Amino acid sequence: MQIGRSSIIYTVVLFVLVGLSVGAAYYRYMVRQDFTYFQTEDEIPDQFDPSAYSQL
Amino acid sequence: MTPEVFNLIQACEWAPSQFLVFSDNVFESFIYYSHLGSIIPTLLIALFIFIYGRKEFSSILLLLTSIFFSLWVFSDLVLWATEFPSYTMFFWALEIVCEPLVYFFSFYFFYVYVFKKDLSVLQKILFLFPLLPTFVFASTRLGLLGYDISNCDRAASEGILATYGYAIEILYTLLIIGFAIFVLIKAKESVVKKRTALLAVGIVLFLLSFSIGNIVEVFSQDWSIGRYGLFGAPVFVAFLAYLIVQYRAFNVRLIGAQALVAAFWLSVLSLLFIRTVEDVRIITSVTLIFVLIAGILLVRGVKREIAQREKIQKLAEELQDTNERQEGLLHFIGHEVKGFLTKDAGAFAAISQGDFGTPPDGMKPFVDQALIESRQGADSVSNILKASNLKKGAVTYVKEPFDLEALAREAVEKARAAAERKGLTLTFVADGASYQMTGDKAQLSDHVLRNIIDNSINYTSSGSIAVSLKRDDGKLVFAVKDTGIGIDEDDKKHLFTEGGHGKDSQRVNVHSTGYGLYIAKQIAEAHGGTIRAESEGRDKGSTFFVEFPVV
């Protein structure tokens, strides 16, 4: 089966989404270095606790 | 670098990394072997399949799977090596994006390969939907909560998105298993069932080996196990590649040989990174297993290849003997039939000419028709015998100097009656130059010049046949231009081949054997000449050219 037009568009859209996602991560972590340091184990919140995500 | 990070690096005595991945932080050089040893063969195999099946959508999907797999593995290597928290955070986020994509493309590849069709637009949206939260939230706290400096492990703390990623990985794996079971139940052909089962097992094992580290890590908190699982990845990608080539025209043994060579390269390359005796033992053991498997496959492949080649050679010899016997038999039959037809033609000619008295009323037209058909039959058999002799090189040419113009004029006059019977205008012009050449007059007249003129008459229902002779650029050019059915591009390809017919040739000329132009070409070439045809297409007439060198 050869690649069709809709598959090309689909793949391009997918790559754009991946690119935007990776780009956003690069900007936040590499350029702005915007992340929290946890000094002690007690500071690390439980990932299943909704209050851990009060700030995204 | 912030003072906080600088102090952290100093306090933990993290080593500096080079080219992102080389660092003393990688406490076991074995990790290079497991990571690079999975990226290189995986990409090589996927590229190989992509190059040979470039237009195949499944090949493209396999390559995309391998690319995201390799990105994930590379990111993992950076995580082992880097001393910078920002690098850890970014490459960890990259892993969170790439990991479900490996599963998604594996599922997509499986679907396209098994069902031989693309997903519908609705399915595409539906199956992409679970990935959207990953794309949107990978760079937020939902992906990574932060960087843990409560110890010197250089680790990020994962958010709920990482766990969500495992859930959608299970979803895509279940989809593969579900579709495989569907095919196993519904498919009627056993080959389809076998292919689907092998492919599903291969992909699920590939994904399992990819995620084994995460699975074990959840239960044992031991991160080092994951590196062993990566060894399974190229093996299973090779297994998938094998499945693809098994049902296609690619050369499996070539892949086996390439994989073996790649294994040797990697094992030698990995020695550069070895620091401990323990590592040497592990690397040697893994390489030995890989080389043993690839070696056995390769040796078996070569043995099978040799056996097949010997079998083909034996069959070819038997076929040649059979062909020679059949050709001899056909020659004998041909000569016999030709003899009978010639005798019949002689008898019909004698009756028609009144050698046995005037034929009764109404009998003569039947006898004349029988005479024509007997002669045509004898000519057809002669052509086939002639072609066979030419092919065997059993034709001898009696060459002598002669005037090509006189020979061409004679051929035209002999064909004039046939042209006039069809109401065609037959003309001949020569530009008055000298047309002396050396060759076999009889063969050239009967099988080249007459053949081409008769051919034009047979395939022209109305209009004219213009025969010409001229000297052009040191060549004698004999040309026959007609207003007949013409020749399309497809027919041109096998116009002068043995038994070659145009698409409509036998509809227009029921007596066509397909050998006339083949014989003309062989004889023209035996005289150092060439033969070709030109036509602007169907119903636009054609022109045949025979060119002889001036000696």
- The secondary element (H helix, E strand) that includes residue B235 is helix B232-246
Average pLDDT, chain B: 83
Using only the alpha carbons of chain B, give its radius of gyration. 39
Together in a domain, B388 and B408: no
Q: Say how far apart CA A13 and CA B135 lie, in whole Å.
A: 12
Q: Which residues lie below 8 Å from residue B472, measured CB to CB, with a gap of 6+?
A: none
In a domain, B499, yes or no: yes
For residues B481-494, average pLDDT: 86
Which residues sit opposite B436 in a β-bridge?
B403
Under the phi-then-psi rule, with left for phi > 0, alpha for psi from -120 to 50, and beta for the rest, what region is B320? alpha
Together in a domain, B171 and B41: yes
Which of A3, A24, A47 is facing B158, going by the closest CB pair?
A47
Cα distances from A6 to residues A3, A12, A17, B111, B130, in angstroms, run 8, 10, 16, 16, 20
Cα distances from B487 to residues B413, B416, B465, B480, B524, in angstroms, run 26, 23, 16, 14, 21
Q: Say how far apart CA B102 and CA B95 lie, in whole Å.
A: 10
Task: Output the six-digit token pair for B522.
Answer: 């062989």
Q: How confident is the model at residue B113 (pLDDT cuts 50, 70, 90)?
A: confident
- pLDDT value at position B270? 63
Q: Hey, are the CB atoms on A29 and B93 less than 8 Å from each other?
A: yes
Q: Say how far apart CA B106 and CA B121 lie, in whole Å.
A: 18
In a domain, B286, yes or no: no
pLDDT digits (tens, 9 = 90+) for B169-180: 999 999 999 999
Residue B543, pLDDT above cutoff 90? yes
Most confident listed range (B10-14, B207-211, B251-255, B324-328): B10-14
Please choose, from the candidates B401, B479, B468, the residue with its C-alpha nearest in 3D space to the C-alpha of residue B441.
B401
In a domain, B297, yes or no: no
**Domain termination residue (choose one: B230, B255, B280):** B255
Compute the half-sphere exposure of residue B399: CA atoms within 13 Å on the CB side of its CA: 13
All residues of chain B having their beta carbon less than 8 Å from the beta carbon of residue A28 are 139
Together in a domain, B224 and B125: yes
Q: DSSP letters of B484-546?
A: SS---HHHHHTTTSTT---TTHHHH-TT--S-HHHHHHHHHHHTT-EEEEE-SSTTS-EEEEE
- pLDDT value at position B482? 93
pLDDT digits (tens, 9 = 90+) for A1-56: 677 888 889 999 999 999 999 999 999 999 999 999 998 999 999 999 999 998 88
In a domain, B72, yes or no: yes
For residues B158-171, average pLDDT: 93
What distance lies between CA B103 and its chain's CA centroid? 30
Pairwise pLDDT comparison (B430 vs B514), residue with the higher score: B430
In a mutagenesis test of the A interface, which of B92, B137, B150 is the best target, namely the one with the most A β-carbons within 10 Å?
B150
Interface contact A27, partner B, CB < 8 A: yes
Which of B56, B140, B163 is facing A2, going by the closest CB pair?
B56
Q: Hey, are the CB atoms on B141 and A53 less than 8 Å from each other?
A: yes
Q: Say how far apart CA B238 and CA B241 lie, in whole Å.
A: 5
In a domain, B205, yes or no: yes
CATH at residue B60:
1.20.1070.10
For residues B351-374, average pLDDT: 85
Please choose, from the candidates B245, B159, B128, the residue with its C-alpha nearest in 3D space to the C-alpha of residue B198.
B245
Together in a domain, B120 and B219: yes
Together in a domain, B44 and B167: yes
Residue B250, pLDDT above cutoff 50? no
Together in a domain, B531 and B450: yes
Together in a domain, B388 and B479: no
Residue B523, pLDDT above cutoff 80? yes
Together in a domain, B348 and B414: no
**Domain termination residue (choose one: B255, B274, B301):** B255
In a domain, B197, yes or no: yes
Interface contact A54, partner B, CB < 8 A: no
Give helix B190-220 / helix B160-186 axis angle, nearest 10°: 160
- pLDDT value at position B71? 94
Together in a domain, B351 and B221: no
In a domain, B81, yes or no: yes
In a domain, B280, yes or no: no
- CB atoms under 10 Å from CB of B67, counted, come to 18
Q: Hey, are the CB atoms on A21 and B121 less than 8 Å from each other?
A: no
**Domain termination residue (choose one: B255, B282, B305):** B255
Mind telling me how many Å the CA of B181 is from chain A's nearest CA? 22
Together in a domain, B388 and B480: no
- Number of structural domains in chain B: 3
Please choose, from the candidates B499, B501, B479, the residue with its C-alpha nearest in 3D space to the C-alpha of residue B490.
B501
Q: DSSP letters of B326-365?
A: HHHHHHHHHHHHHHHHHHHHHHHHHHHTTBTBPPPTTTHH
Together in a domain, B88 and B130: yes
What distance lies between CA B525 and its chain's CA centroid? 33
Q: How confident is the model at residue B506 (pLDDT cuts 50, 70, 90)?
A: low
CATH at residue B501:
3.30.565.10
Cα distances from B250 to residues A15, B50, B264, B514, in angstroms, run 30, 11, 23, 36
pTM of the model: 0.58
Mind telling me how many Å the CA of A12 is from chain B's nearest CA? 12
- pLDDT value at position B249? 35
- For residue B444, the SS3 value is helix
Please choose, from the candidates B482, B454, B467, B473, the residue with its C-alpha nearest in 3D space to the C-alpha of residue B405.
B467
For residues B368-378, average pLDDT: 86
Q: Say how far apart CA A14 and CA B135 lie, in whole Å.
A: 10
Q: Say how far apart CA B373 and CA B364 lie, in whole Å.
A: 14
**Contacts from A42-47 at CB under 8 Å and sequence distance 24+?**
A43/B150, A44/B145, A44/B146, A44/B148, A44/B150, A44/B157, A45/B145, A47/B145, A47/B157, A47/B158, A47/B159, A47/B160, A47/B162, A47/B163
Together in a domain, B370 and B497: no
Interface contact A37, partner B, CB < 8 A: yes
Q: Say how far apart CA B42 and CA B49 lie, in whole Å.
A: 11
Q: Which domain covers residue B226, as residue numbers?
A: 15-255
Enter the ipTM. Answer: 0.97
Q: Looking at A45-49, B245-249, B361-365, B366-370, which range is the least confident one?
A: B245-249
Residue with tokens 């190059």: B51
Residue B125, pLDDT above cutoff 90? yes
- pLDDT value at position B41? 74
> In this complex, how many residue pairs, one in chain A and one in chain B, have their CB atoms less than 8 Å apart?
120
Phi then psi for residue B37, to 5 deg, are: -70, -15
Decide: B356 and B340 in contact? Cβ < 8 Å.
no
In a mutagenesis test of the A interface, which of B75, B90, B140 is the best target, namely the one with the most A β-carbons within 10 Å?
B90
